[in-house]
Structure 1
């Protein structure tokens, strides 16, 4: 606990300086087709194609949330992690309709957003979404 607190303090209270190319990367992310087959990820594509427009809208809203935070120039890890939680909560109405591959794909999209801003941890939110708990917490 003490070491974690020390590292958190030493890293400028978890502030993330927005990379210069973040805004265009968010636009590229939003514009690409989502939930399609991806052999690199062993993803066969959306299980139920009728869900694709709704899922795409939800993940693009998360990209908008990240973009808004990045425009501040110095949002904190906590602010981005809260945006992840809010974004994942948007999937609650469809969660039971998603198969494991689709849930993994949702998480991977959030990881892409995290990479754009250099966020290293979702704060456990991706694990909770995927598995119902955070295995790093005991």
Structure 2
């Protein structure tokens, strides 16, 4: 009987710890980093990323607004304090879907730059995976999934 109780306690412990997986505790400086991210000028030439700058300068304010909306989405989730990986990944999908109307106007470098901005947002909260959404945006499919 004692062995059965120990097994039940052990399984309960595993269940509780498994349910907590995938939660991201918001870093203390995240809100400041979101504001810094939103205020910086985007789609400028960046030699470190080998980004030549926006292909079509008329798109710069539109793309910047879309990226900043994604930052707002992340900020709202971070403000909750313990959002899940899945919630952030859904925010990535929603954010990338905002670019659908301009997708064909973006060259490869601009699409890569959009993805790098999402990676910056992921870094702010410590999200390690976009769940394939960035690959879907870049390539039309996720090459890591078969």
- Which TM-score bucket, shorter chain as reference? over 0.9
Q: Which residue of 2 aligns with 1:123?
A: 131
* Deviation readout 1:47-75 (Å, 9 max, x if unpaired): 00000000000000000000000000000
Greater gyration radius: 2
Can you give the 5+ residue segments of structure 1 that lack an aligned partner in the other structure?
A: 1-5
Which structure features the higher share of helix residues? Answer: 2
Paired with 2:37 and 2:138, the residues of 1 have a C-alpha distance of 22
Structure 2, gaps ≥5 residues long: 1-13
Establish whether residue 45 from structure 1 lines up as the match of residue 35 from structure 2: no
Q: Which residue of the partner structure matches residue 85 of structure 2?
A: 77
Shift of residue 13, structure 1, vs aligned partner? 2.6
**Alpha-carbon separation, structure 2, partners of 1:100 and 1:10:** 39
Aligned to 1:24: 32
Using the size of structure 2 for normalisation, the TM-score is 0.87
Runs ≥4 in structure 1, deviation > 2 angstroms? Answer: 9-13
Q: CA deviation at 1:114?
A: 0.1
What TM-score comes out, normalization by structure 1 length? 0.92
Please list the CA deviations of residues 105-134 of structure 1 after superposition, one character each: whole Å capped at 9, or x if unmatched. Answer: 000000000000000000000000000000
The answer on 1:110 being equivalent to 2:118 is yes
Partner-residue secondary structure (3-state), 2:101: coil
What secondary structure is seen at the aligned counterpart in 2 of 1:114? helix
SS state at 1:27 partner: helix
